[in-house]
Structure 1
Amino acid sequence: MAAAAAQSGEAQPNRPISNILIVIAMQTEAQPVVNKFELIEDPHSPFPQGVPWVRYHGKYKDLNINLIWPGKDPSSGVDSVGTISSALVTYAAIQALQPDLIINAGTAGGFKARGASVGDIFIASDCAFHDRRIPIPVFDLYGVGSRKAFETPNLVKELDLKVAKLSTGDSLDMTEQDESSITANDATVKDMEGAAVAYVADLLKVPAIFVKAVTDIIDGDKPTAEEFLQNLAAVTAALDLAVEKVINFINGKSISEL
């Protein structure tokens, strides 16, 4: 696990964190963070020619911040959301930028029955998939792909953030099978990127934390897409503030102090 690797010394847990990688899926979510930290777009991207991935970077206090946004899909022109883009861009960014810590920040759906409300900010304790159904022994566990996020007890306590499990799938809506899998994952929040970022972070042994802001109530009475769009701007502002607080807490601390 990435958390275990970091705590065992591979990520130099006692050295102050200096290089942070923020992975955000949508431009609407990314732009306030870019503005807040006065990040600038890299005109000479470290990524392969032709990919739409965008790197913003800058210095904030003692931290080098890289924010990676997967960009607009070349064919459709919409944000490159979902697990494939987020996994690819996370892998490429780790290779190119060698971060000490990854922050996957973004919006998510939440379950009212499990204590989520619109505007809530959650730190994910665990990430898993709910739409990779492989009903063969052991392959079923691979499909779920459950992974622990890096534990940040001091950060959670200091910022008074909610902690919950996160379930990831490539659809905004939810089928009955998805709902059963999300319930089995014991997840309070649902997104389209987190578990993919967790998979890559685990492979490459980089500690990763997940900051998710609830835009819509999945078990509420409003259509998901309608509620998501209605609340996106306000919740993105709340996410921006949460990311700022997380970054300020991280500044000057080592991995082991989080």
Structure 2
Amino acid sequence: MTLTPEQRIELHGFNNLTKSLSFNMYDICYTRTTEERDSYIHYIDEQYNADRLTKILSKVTEMIGAHILNIAKQDYVPQGSSVTILVSEGPVDEAPKEAFEESPGPITGNVVAHLDKSHITVHTYPEYHPDAGISTFRADIDVSTCGEISPLKALNYLIHSFETDVMVIDYRVRGFTRDVTGHKLFIDHDINSIQNYIPDEVQRLYDMIDVNVYQENIFHTKCKLRQFNLDNYLFGHKKEELPPEEQLEITKKLKTEMEEIFYGKNITY
């Protein structure tokens, strides 16, 4: 929904609402040997090192119209990376009308707006099961903004920036601002689901569940890939190299891993 100038609320001072997007992505892989596991973790560390993550977050900053004040980044031993970007403030009255529009947002390009007292962070966590051969890569991204624009505008780009089997997405509006009469506003835009900001072509790829607390302005969406091709989850070999019974066993382990992450609980068969 795009607001006309007549529909926009005149505020008392700056818009103090904080909008926070937390995006957790998971990449699942099966590594048969210790050597394959170590190679997978090395591949992930190279694919999502601090320099590349900085480029991704810098693009997010550009898309939501902010300006970088400071970047802190670090690659860790034995694995993992972190990046934190502090972005600058700007005048609210220059924010565009389309800041309130429900849409997936661009994959590239700009959404012109100004933000205030905002930050963007990412942390990566390569992990593995000690016995089952499962290796999992998790990236946690947080985009926190003040003002009129929502960080959900960057969600489409973030989804396309990572190889994602399972996504867990949280969006929350915190605090309050005031109109010119002093009346408190605890949210300044209409939203009923994070799915409004995920393109249709992406939604067709995933099973999705919403758990929303509307009265608290808390929105939660979980996504799991619908189609499963074992070749996409084997690191270092192809499924035709494995006997059928091993293919079935590996498939069961991988699907169990994804379902446990998706539902947030251990599954016992």
Give the structure-2-normalised TM-score. Answer: 0.29
> Which structure has the larger Rg over C-alpha atoms?
2
Question: Which of the pair is proportionally richer in strand?
Answer: 2
Higher relative contact order (CA 8 A, sep 6+): 1
Question: Which of the pair is proportionally richer in helix?
Answer: 1
